[in-house]
Structure 1
Amino acid sequence: MISEYWPLYNLVLRTAHLELRFPTETELGELATVAAGGINRPGQRTYLTPWPELSPEKRGLFVIQNHWGCKAEWESSDWVLNLGVFADGQPIGMVSLRGKEFAVLREVTTGSWLGLEFQGQGHGTEARTALLHFAFEYLGAEAARTEVFQENAASQGVSRKLGYRPDGISRDVLDGQVIVSDRLRLTRESWRHVPHTPVTVSGFDGCEKFFLGDAPNP
Protein backbone atom coordinates (compact mmCIF):
# COMPACT_ATOMS: atom_id res chain seq x y z
CA MET A 1 0.00 0.00 0.00
CA ILE A 2 2.87 2.39 0.70
CA SER A 3 3.70 2.48 -3.01
CA GLU A 4 0.42 4.33 -3.57
CA TYR A 5 1.97 7.26 -1.70
CA TRP A 6 5.60 6.58 -2.64
CA PRO A 7 5.57 5.03 -6.14
CA LEU A 8 9.35 5.37 -6.30
CA TYR A 9 9.47 1.99 -4.56
CA ASN A 10 8.36 0.52 -7.89
CA LEU A 11 11.11 2.21 -9.91
CA VAL A 12 13.79 -0.21 -11.16
CA LEU A 13 16.69 0.47 -13.54
CA ARG A 14 18.27 -2.61 -15.12
CA THR A 15 21.41 -3.21 -17.14
CA ALA A 16 22.96 -6.46 -18.32
CA HIS A 17 24.53 -7.14 -14.92
CA LEU A 18 22.96 -4.74 -12.42
CA GLU A 19 19.66 -3.73 -10.88
CA LEU A 20 19.22 -0.29 -9.30
CA ARG A 21 16.25 0.26 -6.98
CA PHE A 22 15.14 1.36 -3.54
CA PRO A 23 16.38 -1.22 -1.02
CA THR A 24 14.13 -2.82 1.55
CA GLU A 25 15.05 -2.08 5.16
CA THR A 26 16.77 -5.48 5.36
CA GLU A 27 18.71 -4.75 2.18
CA LEU A 28 19.62 -1.31 3.51
CA GLY A 29 21.22 -3.03 6.48
CA GLU A 30 23.12 -5.29 4.09
CA LEU A 31 24.32 -2.25 2.13
CA ALA A 32 25.47 -0.66 5.38
CA THR A 33 27.49 -3.81 6.06
CA VAL A 34 29.08 -3.54 2.60
CA ALA A 35 30.08 0.06 3.36
CA ALA A 36 31.35 -0.93 6.80
CA GLY A 37 33.68 -3.36 5.05
CA GLY A 38 35.34 -0.42 3.28
CA ILE A 39 34.92 1.64 0.13
CA ASN A 40 38.30 3.41 -0.03
CA ARG A 41 41.79 1.97 -0.18
CA PRO A 42 44.36 3.27 2.34
CA GLY A 43 45.20 6.89 1.59
CA GLN A 44 42.42 7.25 -0.97
CA ARG A 45 40.01 10.19 -0.69
CA THR A 46 36.80 10.40 -2.69
CA TYR A 47 34.40 12.70 -0.79
CA LEU A 48 34.55 16.15 0.78
CA THR A 49 32.43 14.72 3.58
CA PRO A 50 34.96 12.19 4.89
CA TRP A 51 32.45 9.50 5.84
CA PRO A 52 34.53 6.68 4.27
CA GLU A 53 37.18 7.37 6.94
CA LEU A 54 34.74 6.82 9.81
CA SER A 55 34.88 3.65 11.88
CA PRO A 56 33.11 0.66 10.26
CA GLU A 57 30.11 0.97 12.59
CA LYS A 58 29.71 4.71 11.98
CA ARG A 59 30.26 4.23 8.25
CA GLY A 60 27.37 1.76 8.08
CA LEU A 61 25.17 4.04 10.18
CA PHE A 62 25.95 6.95 7.85
CA VAL A 63 24.66 4.96 4.86
CA ILE A 64 21.40 4.16 6.65
CA GLN A 65 20.77 7.68 7.94
CA ASN A 66 21.70 9.28 4.63
CA HIS A 67 19.24 7.05 2.79
CA TRP A 68 16.45 7.79 5.26
CA GLY A 69 17.24 11.50 5.06
CA CYS A 70 17.05 11.59 1.26
CA LYS A 71 13.53 10.17 1.38
CA ALA A 72 12.37 12.30 4.30
CA GLU A 73 13.61 15.57 2.76
CA TRP A 74 12.36 14.91 -0.78
CA GLU A 75 10.75 17.87 -2.51
CA SER A 76 9.95 18.13 -6.21
CA SER A 77 12.17 21.25 -6.27
CA ASP A 78 15.10 19.54 -4.51
CA TRP A 79 15.40 15.75 -4.55
CA VAL A 80 18.00 13.01 -4.25
CA LEU A 81 17.19 9.63 -5.77
CA ASN A 82 19.27 7.22 -3.69
CA LEU A 83 19.23 3.66 -5.05
CA GLY A 84 20.83 0.41 -4.02
CA VAL A 85 22.98 -1.36 -6.61
CA PHE A 86 22.51 -5.13 -6.85
CA ALA A 87 24.51 -7.65 -8.88
CA ASP A 88 22.76 -11.03 -9.16
CA GLY A 89 20.67 -9.99 -6.18
CA GLN A 90 23.71 -9.16 -4.06
CA PRO A 91 23.98 -5.60 -2.69
CA ILE A 92 27.27 -4.04 -3.80
CA GLY A 93 26.85 -0.28 -3.29
CA MET A 94 24.62 2.73 -3.86
CA VAL A 95 24.18 5.51 -6.42
CA SER A 96 22.47 8.88 -6.24
CA LEU A 97 20.90 11.24 -8.74
CA ARG A 98 20.17 14.79 -7.55
CA GLY A 99 18.04 17.50 -9.09
CA LYS A 100 17.84 20.97 -7.55
CA GLU A 101 15.19 23.16 -9.21
CA PHE A 102 15.25 20.44 -11.84
CA ALA A 103 11.95 21.44 -13.47
CA VAL A 104 13.61 24.75 -14.42
CA LEU A 105 17.33 23.94 -14.74
CA ARG A 106 17.01 20.42 -16.21
CA GLU A 107 20.40 19.47 -14.78
CA VAL A 108 21.36 16.61 -12.48
CA THR A 109 24.39 15.55 -10.48
CA THR A 110 25.41 11.99 -9.70
CA GLY A 111 27.23 10.22 -6.91
CA SER A 112 28.10 6.63 -6.05
CA TRP A 113 30.04 4.25 -3.86
CA LEU A 114 30.85 0.54 -4.18
CA GLY A 115 32.26 -1.92 -1.68
CA LEU A 116 35.99 -2.49 -2.20
CA GLU A 117 35.55 -6.07 -3.35
CA PHE A 118 33.19 -4.96 -6.13
CA GLN A 119 35.38 -2.22 -7.58
CA GLY A 120 37.39 -2.51 -10.78
CA GLN A 121 34.84 -4.77 -12.48
CA GLY A 122 32.95 -2.21 -14.57
CA HIS A 123 30.07 -1.92 -12.11
CA GLY A 124 30.66 1.80 -11.56
CA THR A 125 30.39 2.63 -15.25
CA GLU A 126 27.32 0.43 -15.69
CA ALA A 127 25.53 1.91 -12.67
CA ARG A 128 26.25 5.51 -13.75
CA THR A 129 25.04 4.64 -17.26
CA ALA A 130 21.71 3.50 -15.82
CA LEU A 131 21.30 6.76 -13.88
CA LEU A 132 22.15 8.89 -16.90
CA HIS A 133 19.78 6.94 -19.17
CA PHE A 134 17.00 7.55 -16.67
CA ALA A 135 17.85 11.25 -16.37
CA PHE A 136 18.12 11.95 -20.09
CA GLU A 137 15.54 9.59 -21.56
CA TYR A 138 12.84 9.65 -18.86
CA LEU A 139 13.21 12.93 -17.00
CA GLY A 140 14.24 15.07 -19.96
CA ALA A 141 17.51 16.30 -18.42
CA GLU A 142 19.59 18.63 -20.56
CA ALA A 143 22.88 18.02 -18.76
CA ALA A 144 24.55 16.00 -16.02
CA ARG A 145 27.34 17.40 -13.86
CA THR A 146 29.89 15.87 -11.55
CA GLU A 147 32.90 17.00 -9.54
CA VAL A 148 35.85 14.64 -9.15
CA PHE A 149 39.06 15.01 -7.17
CA GLN A 150 41.91 15.31 -9.64
CA GLU A 151 43.66 12.40 -7.93
CA ASN A 152 40.61 10.09 -8.26
CA ALA A 153 41.67 8.32 -11.46
CA ALA A 154 38.91 5.69 -11.36
CA SER A 155 36.03 8.18 -11.21
CA GLN A 156 37.75 10.44 -13.73
CA GLY A 157 37.96 7.49 -16.11
CA VAL A 158 34.28 6.59 -15.75
CA SER A 159 33.20 10.19 -16.41
CA ARG A 160 35.32 10.66 -19.51
CA LYS A 161 34.36 7.25 -20.88
CA LEU A 162 30.71 8.29 -20.72
CA GLY A 163 31.33 11.53 -22.59
CA TYR A 164 31.72 14.16 -19.86
CA ARG A 165 33.72 17.23 -20.85
CA PRO A 166 35.78 19.67 -18.70
CA ASP A 167 33.74 22.46 -17.12
CA GLY A 168 36.28 24.21 -14.90
CA ILE A 169 37.59 23.40 -11.42
CA SER A 170 36.48 23.76 -7.81
CA ARG A 171 38.73 24.44 -4.82
CA ASP A 172 37.72 23.24 -1.36
CA VAL A 173 39.32 22.60 2.00
CA LEU A 174 39.78 19.01 3.21
CA ASP A 175 41.74 18.17 6.35
CA GLY A 176 43.01 21.75 6.48
CA GLN A 177 44.43 21.65 2.96
CA VAL A 178 43.26 22.86 -0.44
CA ILE A 179 41.96 20.10 -2.68
CA VAL A 180 41.13 20.66 -6.34
CA SER A 181 38.28 18.95 -8.16
CA ASP A 182 37.60 18.86 -11.87
CA ARG A 183 34.09 19.93 -12.79
CA LEU A 184 32.77 17.80 -15.64
CA ARG A 185 29.58 18.19 -17.69
CA LEU A 186 27.70 15.85 -20.02
CA THR A 187 25.01 17.21 -22.34
CA ARG A 188 22.11 15.18 -23.67
CA GLU A 189 23.45 15.58 -27.21
CA SER A 190 26.86 14.23 -26.23
CA TRP A 191 25.24 11.38 -24.30
CA ARG A 192 23.38 10.20 -27.36
CA HIS A 193 26.60 10.08 -29.39
CA VAL A 194 28.48 7.87 -26.91
CA PRO A 195 27.95 4.07 -27.10
CA HIS A 196 26.83 2.61 -23.80
CA THR A 197 25.26 -0.51 -22.36
CA PRO A 198 21.47 -0.89 -22.83
CA VAL A 199 19.25 0.12 -19.90
CA THR A 200 15.62 -0.71 -19.19
CA VAL A 201 13.38 1.19 -16.78
CA SER A 202 10.23 -0.13 -15.13
CA GLY A 203 7.82 1.31 -12.58
CA PHE A 204 8.09 4.93 -13.73
CA ASP A 205 4.30 5.36 -13.90
CA GLY A 206 3.20 7.70 -11.14
CA CYS A 207 6.74 8.90 -10.38
CA GLU A 208 6.99 11.89 -12.68
CA LYS A 209 5.43 14.40 -10.28
CA PHE A 210 8.08 13.60 -7.67
CA PHE A 211 10.80 14.83 -10.03
CA LEU A 212 9.04 17.61 -11.92
CA GLY A 213 6.17 18.77 -9.74
CA ASP A 214 3.55 20.22 -12.08
CA ALA A 215 6.03 21.03 -14.85
CA PRO A 216 5.54 19.11 -18.14
CA ASN A 217 8.20 16.64 -19.25
CA PRO A 218 9.58 17.89 -22.60
Structure 2
Amino acid sequence: MLSLEEIFPPFALRVACGPVELRVLRDDDVPELVELVRGGVTDPALPMPFLQAWHEEPFTPGAPDGFPTSSLRWWWTQRATCSPEEWRLALTVRRDGVLVGMQDLHAVAFPQRRSVLTGSWLGRAHHGVGTGTLMRRLAVVLALDELGAAQCESGYIVGNHASAAVSRKVGYRENGRHRVVQRSAAGAVGADEQRVVVTRDTVVRPGEPVTVEGAAVLRRFLGVDDLPHAAASVDSHTDGHDVSDVSDDAG
Protein backbone atom coordinates (compact mmCIF):
# COMPACT_ATOMS: atom_id res chain seq x y z
CA MET A 1 0.00 0.00 0.00
CA LEU A 2 1.26 3.47 -0.88
CA SER A 3 2.06 5.90 1.92
CA LEU A 4 0.36 9.30 2.13
CA GLU A 5 3.69 10.91 1.24
CA GLU A 6 3.88 8.83 -1.95
CA ILE A 7 0.31 9.78 -2.88
CA PHE A 8 0.80 13.49 -2.17
CA PRO A 9 4.56 14.30 -2.24
CA PRO A 10 4.35 17.72 -0.51
CA PHE A 11 3.61 15.79 2.70
CA ALA A 12 7.17 14.40 2.52
CA LEU A 13 8.70 17.86 2.81
CA ARG A 14 10.50 18.77 6.03
CA VAL A 15 12.67 21.86 6.54
CA ALA A 16 14.34 22.27 9.92
CA CYS A 17 16.95 24.38 11.67
CA GLY A 18 17.64 24.49 15.38
CA PRO A 19 14.31 24.35 17.27
CA VAL A 20 12.14 25.26 14.23
CA GLU A 21 10.57 22.83 11.77
CA LEU A 22 8.37 23.47 8.71
CA ARG A 23 6.05 20.81 7.25
CA VAL A 24 3.02 20.91 4.96
CA LEU A 25 -0.23 21.27 6.92
CA ARG A 26 -2.04 17.98 7.60
CA ASP A 27 -5.55 17.42 8.86
CA ASP A 28 -4.17 16.21 12.19
CA ASP A 29 -2.64 19.67 12.70
CA VAL A 30 -5.95 21.52 12.32
CA PRO A 31 -7.26 21.29 15.94
CA GLU A 32 -3.98 22.66 17.30
CA LEU A 33 -3.95 25.34 14.60
CA VAL A 34 -7.48 26.45 15.46
CA GLU A 35 -6.55 26.87 19.12
CA LEU A 36 -3.47 28.86 18.11
CA VAL A 37 -5.58 31.29 16.08
CA ARG A 38 -8.07 31.64 18.95
CA GLY A 39 -5.21 32.81 21.14
CA GLY A 40 -4.57 35.76 18.80
CA VAL A 41 -2.19 36.30 15.88
CA THR A 42 -1.73 40.08 15.60
CA ASP A 43 -0.25 42.87 17.68
CA PRO A 44 -2.99 45.47 18.28
CA ALA A 45 -0.34 48.21 18.36
CA LEU A 46 0.60 47.52 14.72
CA PRO A 47 -1.37 47.85 11.46
CA MET A 48 -3.52 44.84 10.57
CA PRO A 49 -1.14 42.74 8.42
CA PHE A 50 -3.65 40.82 6.26
CA LEU A 51 -5.70 41.80 3.23
CA GLN A 52 -8.62 39.81 4.63
CA ALA A 53 -9.23 39.82 8.39
CA TRP A 54 -9.85 36.08 8.57
CA HIS A 55 -8.57 36.04 12.15
CA GLU A 56 -11.40 38.34 13.23
CA GLU A 57 -14.23 36.09 12.08
CA PRO A 58 -16.59 34.86 14.82
CA PHE A 59 -15.68 31.50 16.33
CA THR A 60 -18.51 29.21 15.20
CA PRO A 61 -17.26 25.58 15.15
CA GLY A 62 -19.57 23.25 13.26
CA ALA A 63 -21.36 26.12 11.48
CA PRO A 64 -21.19 26.64 7.70
CA ASP A 65 -19.64 30.11 8.06
CA GLY A 66 -17.18 31.85 10.35
CA PHE A 67 -14.02 30.44 11.87
CA PRO A 68 -12.74 27.77 11.56
CA THR A 69 -14.92 26.65 8.60
CA SER A 70 -13.86 29.46 6.26
CA SER A 71 -10.18 28.97 7.03
CA LEU A 72 -10.50 25.20 6.70
CA ARG A 73 -11.92 25.65 3.19
CA TRP A 74 -8.95 27.82 2.31
CA TRP A 75 -6.37 25.39 3.70
CA TRP A 76 -7.98 22.48 1.86
CA THR A 77 -8.24 24.51 -1.36
CA GLN A 78 -4.52 25.17 -1.32
CA ARG A 79 -3.91 21.44 -1.20
CA ALA A 80 -6.54 20.53 -3.79
CA THR A 81 -5.36 23.05 -6.39
CA CYS A 82 -1.63 22.42 -6.07
CA SER A 83 -0.26 21.91 -9.60
CA PRO A 84 2.79 22.88 -11.70
CA GLU A 85 0.78 25.82 -13.12
CA GLU A 86 0.04 27.31 -9.69
CA TRP A 87 0.92 26.00 -6.27
CA ARG A 88 0.68 26.98 -2.64
CA LEU A 89 2.50 25.32 0.22
CA ALA A 90 0.86 25.94 3.59
CA LEU A 91 3.63 25.04 6.03
CA THR A 92 3.08 24.57 9.73
CA VAL A 93 5.77 26.10 11.92
CA ARG A 94 6.73 24.19 15.03
CA ARG A 95 9.23 25.32 17.63
CA ASP A 96 10.41 22.57 19.96
CA GLY A 97 7.48 20.50 18.67
CA VAL A 98 4.81 23.11 19.48
CA LEU A 99 2.73 24.59 16.64
CA VAL A 100 3.41 28.35 16.69
CA GLY A 101 2.45 29.68 13.24
CA MET A 102 2.18 29.23 9.48
CA GLN A 103 4.54 29.95 6.61
CA ASP A 104 3.08 30.09 3.08
CA LEU A 105 4.73 29.90 -0.34
CA HIS A 106 2.80 30.69 -3.53
CA ALA A 107 3.90 30.57 -7.17
CA VAL A 108 2.21 31.06 -10.54
CA ALA A 109 3.90 29.86 -13.77
CA PHE A 110 6.95 29.08 -11.67
CA PRO A 111 9.06 27.37 -14.37
CA GLN A 112 8.85 30.55 -16.43
CA ARG A 113 8.80 33.27 -13.74
CA ARG A 114 11.05 31.59 -11.13
CA SER A 115 9.45 33.75 -8.43
CA VAL A 116 7.80 32.73 -5.14
CA LEU A 117 5.55 34.83 -2.92
CA THR A 118 6.06 34.32 0.82
CA GLY A 119 3.77 35.15 3.71
CA SER A 120 3.67 34.15 7.35
CA TRP A 121 2.13 34.67 10.77
CA LEU A 122 2.82 33.64 14.34
CA GLY A 123 0.54 33.11 17.30
CA ARG A 124 0.66 36.24 19.46
CA ALA A 125 2.15 34.36 22.42
CA HIS A 126 5.12 33.33 20.27
CA HIS A 127 6.25 36.76 19.06
CA GLY A 128 9.62 38.16 20.00
CA VAL A 129 11.85 35.09 20.28
CA GLY A 130 13.31 34.96 16.77
CA THR A 131 10.93 32.40 15.28
CA GLY A 132 9.52 34.78 12.65
CA THR A 133 12.97 35.52 11.28
CA LEU A 134 14.09 31.90 11.23
CA MET A 135 10.93 30.51 9.63
CA ARG A 136 11.15 33.04 6.80
CA ARG A 137 14.83 32.28 6.28
CA LEU A 138 13.95 28.60 5.99
CA ALA A 139 11.20 29.33 3.46
CA VAL A 140 13.57 31.43 1.35
CA VAL A 141 16.32 28.80 1.51
CA LEU A 142 13.79 26.17 0.39
CA ALA A 143 12.66 28.28 -2.57
CA LEU A 144 16.08 29.47 -3.72
CA ASP A 145 18.25 26.43 -3.04
CA GLU A 146 15.88 23.50 -3.44
CA LEU A 147 13.19 24.63 -5.91
CA GLY A 148 15.34 26.81 -8.16
CA ALA A 149 13.64 30.16 -7.55
CA ALA A 150 15.45 33.27 -8.73
CA GLN A 151 13.73 35.44 -6.12
CA CYS A 152 11.17 35.52 -3.33
CA GLU A 153 8.73 38.39 -3.03
CA SER A 154 6.72 39.58 -0.06
CA GLY A 155 5.19 42.73 1.37
CA TYR A 156 4.00 44.44 4.54
CA ILE A 157 1.62 47.25 5.38
CA VAL A 158 3.50 50.53 5.76
CA GLY A 159 3.84 51.27 9.46
CA ASN A 160 4.30 47.64 10.49
CA HIS A 161 7.85 48.16 11.74
CA ALA A 162 8.10 44.64 13.17
CA SER A 163 7.43 42.99 9.81
CA ALA A 164 9.79 45.45 8.13
CA ALA A 165 12.54 44.46 10.58
CA VAL A 166 12.09 40.76 9.92
CA SER A 167 12.23 41.36 6.16
CA ARG A 168 15.52 43.22 6.53
CA LYS A 169 16.99 40.47 8.70
CA VAL A 170 16.13 37.86 6.06
CA GLY A 171 17.73 39.94 3.30
CA TYR A 172 14.68 41.36 1.53
CA ARG A 173 15.19 44.69 -0.26
CA GLU A 174 12.50 47.31 -0.91
CA ASN A 175 10.82 46.87 -4.29
CA GLY A 176 8.26 49.67 -4.58
CA ARG A 177 4.94 50.48 -2.94
CA HIS A 178 1.37 50.06 -4.10
CA ARG A 179 -2.12 50.65 -2.80
CA VAL A 180 -4.12 47.68 -1.50
CA VAL A 181 -7.57 47.17 -0.03
CA GLN A 182 -7.89 45.57 3.40
CA ARG A 183 -11.22 44.03 4.40
CA SER A 184 -12.23 43.62 8.04
CA ALA A 185 -15.43 43.47 10.04
CA ALA A 186 -15.43 47.29 10.03
CA GLY A 187 -15.40 47.40 6.23
CA ALA A 188 -12.92 47.96 3.41
CA VAL A 189 -10.07 50.45 3.78
CA GLY A 190 -7.12 51.45 1.61
CA ALA A 191 -3.55 50.96 2.78
CA ASP A 192 -0.04 51.33 1.39
CA GLU A 193 1.92 48.09 1.03
CA GLN A 194 5.69 48.03 0.83
CA ARG A 195 6.83 45.33 -1.58
CA VAL A 196 10.15 43.57 -0.88
CA VAL A 197 12.26 41.01 -2.73
CA VAL A 198 15.14 38.71 -1.76
CA THR A 199 17.55 36.82 -4.03
CA ARG A 200 20.43 34.41 -3.54
CA ASP A 201 22.78 37.41 -3.50
CA THR A 202 20.98 39.18 -0.64
CA VAL A 203 19.55 36.37 1.51
CA VAL A 204 20.80 36.13 5.09
CA ARG A 205 20.96 32.44 5.87
CA PRO A 206 20.45 30.84 9.28
CA GLY A 207 23.47 30.55 11.52
CA GLU A 208 22.90 26.81 12.06
CA PRO A 209 22.72 23.95 9.54
CA VAL A 210 19.44 23.65 7.60
CA THR A 211 18.03 20.16 6.99
CA VAL A 212 15.74 19.67 3.98
CA GLU A 213 13.99 16.37 3.34
CA GLY A 214 11.65 15.46 0.51
CA ALA A 215 12.83 18.15 -1.91
CA ALA A 216 13.44 15.78 -4.83
CA VAL A 217 9.92 14.32 -4.85
CA LEU A 218 8.47 17.81 -4.38
CA ARG A 219 10.40 19.12 -7.41
CA ARG A 220 9.08 16.24 -9.49
CA PHE A 221 5.50 16.83 -8.28
CA LEU A 222 5.74 20.55 -9.14
CA GLY A 223 7.30 19.86 -12.54
CA VAL A 224 10.58 21.67 -11.84
CA ASP A 225 12.99 18.75 -12.03
CA ASP A 226 14.91 20.44 -14.86
CA LEU A 227 15.41 23.77 -13.06
CA PRO A 228 18.89 24.33 -11.58
CA HIS A 229 19.00 24.32 -7.79
CA ALA A 230 21.84 25.00 -5.41
CA ALA A 231 21.48 22.00 -3.09
CA ALA A 232 24.27 19.48 -3.41
CA SER A 233 22.00 16.53 -2.70
CA VAL A 234 18.36 15.53 -2.52
CA ASP A 235 18.20 15.95 1.24
CA SER A 236 20.65 18.72 2.05
CA HIS A 237 22.35 20.13 5.11
CA THR A 238 23.21 23.76 4.34
CA ASP A 239 25.54 25.69 6.62
CA GLY A 240 24.64 29.35 7.04
CA HIS A 241 26.79 32.29 8.06
CA ASP A 242 24.55 34.65 10.03
CA VAL A 243 24.21 34.05 13.75
CA SER A 244 21.82 36.87 14.68
CA ASP A 245 18.50 35.96 16.27
CA VAL A 246 16.65 39.04 17.42
CA SER A 247 13.00 39.89 17.91
CA ASP A 248 10.47 38.93 15.25
CA ASP A 249 6.85 39.65 14.36
CA ALA A 250 3.78 37.76 13.17
CA GLY A 251 5.02 37.80 9.60
- Provide the C-alpha distance between the structure 2 equivalents of 1:56 and 1:161, rounded to a whole number of angstroms: 35
Task: Choose the corresponding residue for 2:157, options 143, 149, 153.
Answer: 149
Which residue matches 1:70? 78
| Partner in structure 1 of residue 200 of structure 2 | 188
- For normalisation by structure 1, the TM-score amounts to 0.91
The code of the aligned residue for 2:121 comes to W
Residues 153-172 of structure 1 aligned to structure 2 (within 5 Å):
153-172=161-180
1:128: which partner in 2? 136
Alpha-carbon shift at residue 164 of structure 1 (Å) = 1.1
Instruction: Identify the residue that residue 107 of structure 1 maps to in structure 2.
Output: 115
Please say if residues 32 and 61 of structure 1, whose CA atoms lie closer than 8 Å, have aligned partners that are also in contact. Answer: no
C-alpha separation in 2, matches of 1:112 and 1:147: 11
Please say which of residues 89-98 and 171-180 is displaced more in the overlay: 171-180
Look up the match of 1:205: 216
Q: 1:25, CA displacement in angstroms?
A: 1.8
How many angstroms apart in 2 are the aligned matches of 1:163 and 1:136?
13
Q: 1:177 aligns with which of 173, 189, 194?
A: 189
CA contact (8 A) 1:29 1:64 kept: no
Q: Tell me: CA distance 1:195–1:10, structure 2 relative to 1, closer, same or farther (3 Å).
A: closer
* Structure-2 change in CA distance of 1:142 and 1:106 (3 Å): same
Aligned-pair distance for 1:195? 4.6
Deviation at 1:214, TM superposition (A): 5.8
Amino acid at match of 2:227: N
Report the Cα offset of residue 9 of structure 1: 1.0
RMSD between aligned alpha carbons? 1.7
TM-score by length of 2: 0.80
Amino acid at match of 2:158: Q
Assess if the C-alpha contact under 8 Å between 1:39 and 1:113 holds in 2.
yes
1:6 shift after superposition: 0.7
Q: Tell me the SS of whatever aligns to 1:206.
A: helix
SS in 1 for 2:202: helix
Which has the larger helix fraction? 1
Asked if 1:48 is matched to 2:21, the reply is: no
Give aligned pairs, total.
215
Query: Equivalents in 1 of 2:180, 2:82: separation in Å?
Result: 27
Identical aligned residues as a percent: 32
Shift of 1:101: 0.7
The alpha-carbon distance between structure 1 residues 93 and 59, as it changes in their structure 2 partners (threshold 3 A), is farther
The amino acid that maps onto 1:110 is T
The gaps in structure 1 that reach 5 residues or longer are: none
Matched residue, 1:15: 17
